[in-house]
Amino acid sequence: MASKLLRQTLTKTYTTAVIRRFSTVAAVASPSEYEDPTGITMKGVKISGRPLYLDMQATTPVDPRVLDSMLPFYLSRYGNPHSRTHLYGWESETAVETARAQVAALIGASPKEIVFTSGATESNNISIKGVMHFYKDKKRHVITTQTEHKCVLDSCRHLQQEGFEVTYLPVGSDGLIDLDRLRKEIRPDTGLISVMAVNNEIGVVQPVEEIGKICKEFNVPFHTDAAQALGKIKVDVEKWNVSLMSLSGHKIYGPKGVGALYMRRRPRIRVEPQMNGGGQERGIRSGTVPTPLVVGMGAACELAMKEMEYDEKRIKGLQERLLNGIREKIDGVVVNGSMDRRYVGNLNLSFAYVEGESLLMGLKEVAVSSGSACTSASLEPSYVLRALGVDEDMAHTSIRFGIGRFTTEEEIDRAVELTVKQVEKLREMSPLYEMVKEGIDIKQIQWAQH
């Protein structure tokens, strides 16, 4: 009903606009000021229509059922959940607590252990800086990995500037950490171990359960950034033995601008708040809780709980269709990261003898990325791929395909067609590829300097 109301409102408001459908079945018709009958022009790029969306690790479309749950809290139930003196506040507070329980259920936690934040970046900051600041008199050492999300690495660098010590664990060529190396790096003053559950660039799933056992053995708090794991693989805070877990709404078909932080109650983990204010969320995250966003995240978690198994099976088939379709038509395609321990919706590929930026620009009809959306403005090769030991030239050619709940077989087939066409076109212009086809080992060539 709410979606129908929104559609009618949009249609009445934009009767003169050109309406084009989105590339996923999830989206309602929406106008764009950049569209005209001959195509879409934005940032100097013109394409015939909206591109296929295969960048699900950057963000996901809001599930229409999630939007339905949110709209009443924008239009009629708009009370502040912290207003305790009238119906509007009471119904918003009830909705927030329902959402808290929905998030908790998906990870096997108690609702009392869930703190709502603005997203996984804020949750990571609270976890890393908050824990170390609280225990700073006795704990001065953090262990993390070289392939963490940038907000984790930057939080650790911030601590280093304050005098804390940080160990950045290397990863193997498959993207996984060495558990024996982790064990050896733990010190008496280690205050936190932070390891991402599912990597946002290469999709590898770290052995979090084994890491949790090591942390429990040494009595060190364990934090994991589970933004890319939530709703995609089974998450159990008890099995994983995590003390803190960062979660995001917009990675699981929920709204942007909302996330959550799981904080274990027994044994209790303490943090120093990173924001001062009215003391909401048990004083850990002050600020008015945005009811519609929180309700949306809760609904997204409930849907994920019901549909995770079906989604995984379907997405796995699409991933195989994409990889096999590309490999059947072109050679020199390398999968970055482990294929055995990998979230099925992520496929990070490198194409030999192709310049990555040219490939991305040529794939204007497919929305993909060359790495994390948070670092894609940089022309440097992905630090994640470099940590895997990928050669710089291959790291520059990587493309991350993100497949999701609303991706269709037709979209996959079209992506295969366009990718193969563009790679072949760029290789035709590559003298290196010509030399390789002639049997020349280009790694043995001594290039002259001028």
Distances (CA, A) of 154 to 124, 127, 128, 144, 160: 10, 13, 10, 11, 10
Neighbours of 439 (CB within 10 A): 6
How many other C-beta atoms lie within 10 A of the C-beta of residue 168?
Answer: 16
Rounded Cα distance between 185 and 63, Å, is: 43
Q: At what angle do helices 409-428 and 291-327 cross, to 10 degrees?
A: 60
Query: Taking the CB of residue 80, how many other CB atoms lie within 10 A of it?
Result: 14
- The label of the residue with tokens 């996330």 reads 259
Token output for 353:
């003898």
Whole-number CA gyration radius for the chain: 23
The most distant pair of C-alpha atoms in the chain lies apart, rounded to whole Å, by: 80
138 near 152, Cβ under 8 Å?
no
H helix or E strand, kind and range, residue 360: helix 356-362
Q: Which of 151, 215, 301, 374 is catalytic?
A: 374
Active site (annotated) includes residue 374 = yes
* Cα separations in angstroms, 353 against 105, 202, 208, 398, 440: 47, 21, 36, 11, 14
Residue in 217, 207, 261, 212 with CA at minimum distance from that of residue 241: 212
Contacts of 217 (CB under 8 A, 6+ apart): none
The three-state secondary structure class of 429 is: coil
At 374, list the tokens.
Answer: 């948070």
The amino acid sitting at 444 is Q
End-to-end CA distance of the chain: 70
CA–CA dist 317, 320 (Å, integer): 5
Alpha-helix residue ranges (DSSP H) falling in 219-274:
237-240
Task: Go through 303-326 and write b for each residue having 16 or more CB atoms within 10 A of its CB, e for each that does not.
Answer: bbeeebeebbebbeebbebbbebb
Q: Rounded to whole angstroms, how far apart are CA atoms 95 and 83? A: 13
Catalytic residues: 374
